[in-house]
């Protein structure tokens, strides 16, 4: 990682300069006065080398999986195999127009069909649609299907979605976006759902419940079959948030636990890249009850031929969620990954992510850190609470997180889930070697020693990155969202 910051690209810009080899020369358009742009957009005017150097230097100001360990709970930052990128970027795949006729698309459609089939198998679902473009859109599709199901049965009162307090923020936000009201239920001190609270939340207004299992507390919901029965008996459906699917891949299937619908974060479990915040892919799987409502398009097979299925084939669909068919390039990467893992490899995902998590937990426990759920097994992730350090030393979870950056480790997820004070949610993933985990433990031990000797030092971390802690309050109060917005330059 570079420590030298890079000026804004606009500082490299000089009037009249451009990468002239990149566009046709000597062509201009005749535009009627009423439509004509009067002043050119203020895009940079730089040479090709200047642009290449600028953006290469910017890349060097980033942490990434390829350069750093990311024990980021709930995010599954595993290795993104290069082969997945290389084969998804074959020129024929890049050049395929999304609306090309089926007859000219059999190779691509075969990949998508087989991906649907494999995702059905690993989740225990009856149908899959690949179209949602991110986890939150998959969630949207899931809740919209639950709504459509009740409406199709003329069960119009069911508008409440039950969400545990540990849930991801997207869960309640999605329920609201679908026109539902959110009923929050608490978790027990051991991390399991409070069954009594669930029972009293269930009723004739219950549309469904959104759960992730293992939960965001990093523990498996042991009474899941009982939960499923209660919800189904009350007339509701179960939604599985696939954020934590890595923990159980190849071990247990959401469909077998009783879930009616699931979204999968292909950018987590199936190793497509996070790309600095996207693209994701939130494919949805459904059980029998929700098959008629799947978002379109999906891929079907007639004899030996693949074809798109649309509203003519799935008349009760909740509709289209993207202009075409979702993030096709991401789906191709996930397909390559699944083919490389194969049947045996699927089991190993959960096995080795659990091995790494439980090993890291055991070592941190021995080093004196406090697990939030000491009597429980870790799933693929676990929580350490810094409550004691905050009380005794005046350093909090954020200080540890920021200091870890100096040691060359991306910070774990901090302050989520919200109900565990001063928490670090740690997920090592299956692709990290033991040495890397040991290095992380040693860094945590060293930081603990620093905290005991000189708490103020931790408060100032990080020191070895391109910038130190940033003034977020100023960022929000004196908004500077574009170059030139504030005339300071």
Partner 1 sequence: MPFIPHTEAEIGEMLATIGAPSIDALFDEIPAALRIKSLAAIPDALTEMEVGRLMQARASQDGRPLNFLGAGAYEHHIPAAVWAIVTRGEFYSAYTPYQAEASQGTLQLLYEYQTMMSSLTGMEVSNASLYDGASALAEACLMSVRAHRRSKSARIVVPSTLNPTYLSVSRAIVEGQNLNFTVLPYEQGKGTLEFSKLAALKGDDLTAVVIQQPNFFGQMEDVDAITDWAHANNALVIAVVNPLSLALFKPPGEWGAKGVDIVVGDGQPLGVPLSSGGPYFGFMTARMEHVRQMPGRIIGRTVDLDGKQGFTLTLQAREQHIRRSKATSNICTNQGLLVTAATIHMSLLGAAGLESVAATSQRQTNKLVEKLTRIPGVKVVFDGYRFHEAVLQLPTKVSDVLEALARRNIIGGLDLSNLYPELGNALLVCATEMRTDADLDQYAAALADVLERKP
Which residues 307-366 are close enough to bind partner 1 by CB under 8 A? 318-330, 332, 336, 338-348, 350-352, 354-356, 358-359, 361-363, 366
Reference 160, options 172, 168, 145; nearest CA is 172
Cβ–Cβ under 8 Å, residues 437 and 477: no
CB-neighbour burial class of residue 32 (10 A; exposed 0-12, middle 13-18, buried 19+)? exposed
Q: Interaction with partner 1 in 206-245: which residues (CB under 8 A)? A: 219-220, 222, 224-225
CB of 62 to partner 1, least distance (A): 4
Cβ–Cβ under 8 Å, residues 183 and 163: yes
Distance between CA 111 and CA 248 in Å, rounded? 24
Backbone angles phi, psi at 406, to 5 degrees: -60, -30
Which of 133, 201, 383, 423 contacts partner 1 by CB under 8 A? 133
For position 108 contacting partner 1 by CB under 8 A, the verdict is yes
C-beta closer to partner 1: residue 219 or 420: 219
Q: Which residues contact 337 (CB under 8 A, 6 or more apart)?
A: 81, 84, 270, 271, 272
Distance between CA 328 and CA 334 in Å, rounded? 10
Q: Interaction with partner 1 in 440-479: which residues (CB under 8 A)? A: 460, 462, 465-472, 474-476, 478-479
For position 368 contacting partner 1 by CB under 8 A, the verdict is no
C-beta closer to partner 1: residue 155 or 480: 480
- CA distances from residue 158 to 147, 152, 263, 316 in whole angstroms, order as listed: 8, 12, 21, 19
Distance between CA 343 and CA 349 in Å, rounded? 11
CB of 205 to partner 1, least distance (A): 15
CB of 74 to partner 1, least distance (A): 11
C-beta closer to partner 1: residue 99 or 188: 99
For position 487 contacting partner 1 by CB under 8 A, the verdict is no
Distance between CA 400 and CA 414 in Å, rounded? 10
Instruction: Determine if the peptide bond prior to 485 is cis (ω within 30°).
Output: no
CB of 124 to partner 1, least distance (A): 8
CB of 384 to partner 1, least distance (A): 16
Q: Interaction with partner 1 in 154-193: which residues (CB under 8 A)? A: 168-170, 172-180, 182
Which of 69, 113, 140, 259 contacts partner 1 by CB under 8 A? 140
CB of 109 to partner 1, least distance (A): 9
C-beta closer to partner 1: residue 111 or 211: 111
C-beta closer to partner 1: residue 62 or 288: 62
Distance between CA 449 and CA 187 in Å, rounded? 33
Which of 155, 157, 196, 256 contacts partner 1 by CB under 8 A? 256
For position 266 contacting partner 1 by CB under 8 A, the verdict is no
C-beta closer to partner 1: residue 13 or 291: 13
Q: Interaction with partner 1 in 14-73: which residues (CB under 8 A)? A: 17-20, 22-25, 27-29, 31-32, 34-38, 40-46, 48, 51-52, 54-68, 70, 72
Tell me the site size for partner 1, rule CB under 8 A: 203
For position 431 contacting partner 1 by CB under 8 A, the verdict is yes
DSSP state of 323: S
CB of 479 to partner 1, least distance (A): 6
Q: Which residues contact 258 (CB under 8 A, 6 or more apart)?
A: 224, 225, 227, 228, 229, 232, 238
Cβ–Cβ under 8 Å, residues 222 and 377: no
Distance between CA 301 and CA 281 in Å, rounded? 23
CB of 448 to partner 1, least distance (A): 19
For position 198 contacting partner 1 by CB under 8 A, the verdict is no
CB of 324 to partner 1, least distance (A): 3
DSSP state of 193: B
| Token pair 């000597």 in the structure block, residue | 26
For position 147 contacting partner 1 by CB under 8 A, the verdict is yes
CB of 43 to partner 1, least distance (A): 5
Neighbours of 60 (CB within 10 A): 14
Backbone angles phi, psi at 3, to 5 degrees: -110, 0
């Amino acid at each position: 990682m570079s420590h030298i910051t890079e000026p804004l690209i606009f500082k490299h810009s000089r009037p009249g300069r451009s990468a002239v080899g990149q566009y046709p020369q000597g062509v201009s358009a005749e535009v009627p006065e009423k439509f004509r742009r009067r002043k050119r957009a203020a895009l940079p005017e730089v040479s090709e080398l200047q642009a290449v150097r600028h953006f290469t230097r910017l890349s060097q100001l980033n942490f990434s999986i390829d350069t750093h360990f990311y024990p980021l709970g709930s995010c599954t930052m595993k290795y993104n195999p290069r082969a997945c990128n290389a084969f998804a970027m074959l020129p024929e795949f890049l050049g395929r127009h999304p609306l090309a006729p089926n007859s000219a698309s059999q190779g691509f459609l075969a990949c998508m069909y087989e991906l649907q089939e494999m995702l059905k198998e690993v989740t225990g679902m009856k149908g899959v649609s690949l179209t949602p473009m991110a986890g939150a859109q998959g969630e949207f599709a899931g809740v919209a299907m639950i709504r459509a199901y009740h409406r199709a049965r003329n069960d119009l009162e069911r508008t409440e979605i039950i969400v545990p307090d540990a849930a991801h923020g997207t869960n309640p936000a999605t329920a609201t976006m679908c026109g539902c009201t959110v009923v929050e239920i608490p978790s027990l001190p051991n991390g399991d759902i409070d069954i009594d609270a669930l029972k009293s939340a269930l009723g004739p207004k219950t549309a469904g419940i959104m759960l992730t299992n293992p939960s965001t507390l990093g523990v498996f919901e042991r009474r899941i079959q009982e939960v499923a029965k209660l919800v189904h008996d009350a007339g509701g459906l179960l939604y599985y948030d696939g954020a934590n699917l890595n923990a159980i891949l190849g071990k247990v299937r959401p469909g077998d636990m009783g879930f009616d619908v699931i979204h999968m974060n292909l950018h987590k479990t199936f190793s497509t890249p996070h790309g600095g915040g996207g693209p994701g892919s939130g494919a949805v799987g459904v059980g029998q009850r929700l098959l008629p409502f799947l978002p379109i398009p999906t891929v079907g097979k007639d004899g030996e031929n693949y074809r798109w299925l649309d509203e003519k084939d799935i008349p009760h669909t909740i509709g289209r969620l993207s202009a075409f068919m979702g993030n096709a390039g991401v789906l191709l990467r996930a397909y390559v990954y699944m083919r490389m893992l194969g049947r045996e490899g699927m089991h190993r995902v959960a096995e080795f992510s659990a091995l790494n998590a439980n090993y890291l937990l055991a070592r941190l426990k021995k080093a004196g850190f406090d697990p939030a759920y000491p009597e429980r097994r870790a799933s693929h992730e676990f929580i350490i609470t810094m409550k004691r350090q905050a009380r005794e030393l005046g350093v909090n979870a954020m200080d540890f997180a920021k200091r870890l950056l100096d040691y060359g480790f991306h910070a774990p997820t901090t302050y989520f889930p919200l109900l565990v004070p001063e928490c670090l949610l740690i997920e090592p993933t299956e692709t990290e070697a033991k040495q890397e985990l040991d290095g992380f433990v040693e860094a945590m031990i060293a930081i603990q020693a620093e905290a005991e000797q000189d708490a103020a030092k931790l408060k100032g971390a990080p020191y070895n990155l391109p910038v130190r802690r940033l003034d977020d309050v100023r960022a929000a109060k004196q908004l500077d969202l574009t170059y030139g917005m504030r005339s300071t330059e």
